[in-house]
Amino acid sequence: MRRLLTCLLIAIAALTSVPAYAMQVVPPGNRNIEQPAVPGASVRRTKGTKTTFDRKYEKVYELLSTDHELMGKIRKTAAAYGIDPIHVIGAIVGEHTYNVDAYDRLQAYYVKAASYAGESFRFAYDGEDVDTFVGRPQFAACNSKGDSYTLWSCREDVWESDFRGKTVGGKSFPNNRFSAVFFQPFYAGQTFGLGQVNPLTALMLSDLVSRVSGYPKLNEKDAGAVYRAIMEPDVSLAFVAASIRKSIDDYKQIAGMDISGNPGLTATLYNVGNSRQRAATLAAKNRDASVPVWPEENYYGWLINDKLDELKGLL
């Protein structure tokens, strides 16, 4: 039922993706006066490393302000995907403020990526490879999807509706995200690299990144190649930019809203994911609204908008 509702929302939104009125440009800045609450897991993780969010922000800001090679790569990659580089900066700052610590320099990311080059592992749950899992009949409707983004989005929807927290064919599945169950072979909550890209997100964006940046397409059967891609800084930046490009396009095409002038919103979507479903939900809210219902930033995006003048100074 959940999958049917999600698909229905997206389908309806797609049919009415361009409203009768002009495309709505989302105003800059935060909709919330105060920062929304930071999740407890992020708070505990930060306290556990004996630091603070302010110190982590200062550390990643220093990395960006002193590493001219990295800033050059950010500008170049953002231009390739047709987005303002401030969006890429916002995603990196948000990740390294709330989820991980920044390294002192770009080269440290290359060293870390190289350390995983020889690792052998697979995407699986309870002995079942994800490639075998998505071959189940519940996923049959996804097989006709023409690109990696719609294919893996469809598979994620099927997981949510047919498997998450359920027992199917005598096998029970966790009440957790598809990416957390099948795509974290080391430990829960693990993301990697400069952009902290999730492996499932990388698979979704593989076709776009291959087309724009020329990197080889990724395959769920080769987990090592996926991790090498998201850990290697140059490739990781391409996935960060592609994710932001997709979220901007989803909101234009599905919700009829232009969020490209609000880095706090693109940062929020980079953090929470599922831009297609969120855009469809927003479109449904606006269908009968007398005044526009604007998308709102979360704690992560709120920081980016709050620090926007300072972050723009990096450019």
What pLDDT is attached to residue 18? 45
Cα dihedral across residues 39, 45, 47, 51: positive or negative: negative
The residues, any chain, with a CB within 8 Å of residue 268's CB and separated by 6 or more, are 295, 296, 297, 298, 300, 301
Q: Name the maximum alpha-carbon separation found in the chain.
A: 57
What pLDDT is attached to residue 32? 94
pLDDT digits (tens, 9 = 90+) for 251-272: 999 999 999 999 999 999 999 9
What pLDDT is attached to residue 62? 93
pTM of the shown model: 0.87
pLDDT digits (tens, 9 = 90+) for 127-150: 999 999 999 999 999 999 989 999
Closest CA to 292 of 249, 257, 252: 257
Mean pLDDT to the nearest integer, 240-254? 97
The residues, any chain, with a CB within 8 Å of residue 74's CB and separated by 6 or more, are 85, 88, 89, 92, 237
The residues, any chain, with a CB within 8 Å of residue 172's CB and separated by 6 or more, are 166
276 within 8 A of 10, measured Cβ to Cβ: yes
The residues, any chain, with a CB within 8 Å of residue 115's CB and separated by 6 or more, are none
pLDDT digits (tens, 9 = 90+) for 295-313: 999 999 999 999 999 999 9
> Percent of the chain having pLDDT more than 90?
64
Residue 3 to residue 11: CA distance in whole angstroms:
12
pLDDT digits (tens, 9 = 90+) for 53-79: 899 899 999 999 999 999 999 999 999
What pLDDT is attached to residue 247? 97
Closest CA to 9 of 305, 282, 221, 220: 282
Mean pLDDT to the nearest integer, 87-102? 89
pLDDT digits (tens, 9 = 90+) for 12-34: 445 444 444 468 999 999 999 99
> Token digits for 256?
């009829």
What pLDDT is attached to residue 190? 53
Q: Dihedrals φ, ψ of 171, to 5°?
A: -115, 130
> Token digits for 13?
């939104």
> Token digits for 178?
């598809």
pLDDT digits (tens, 9 = 90+) for 154-193: 999 999 999 999 999 999 999 999 998 998 766 544 556 7
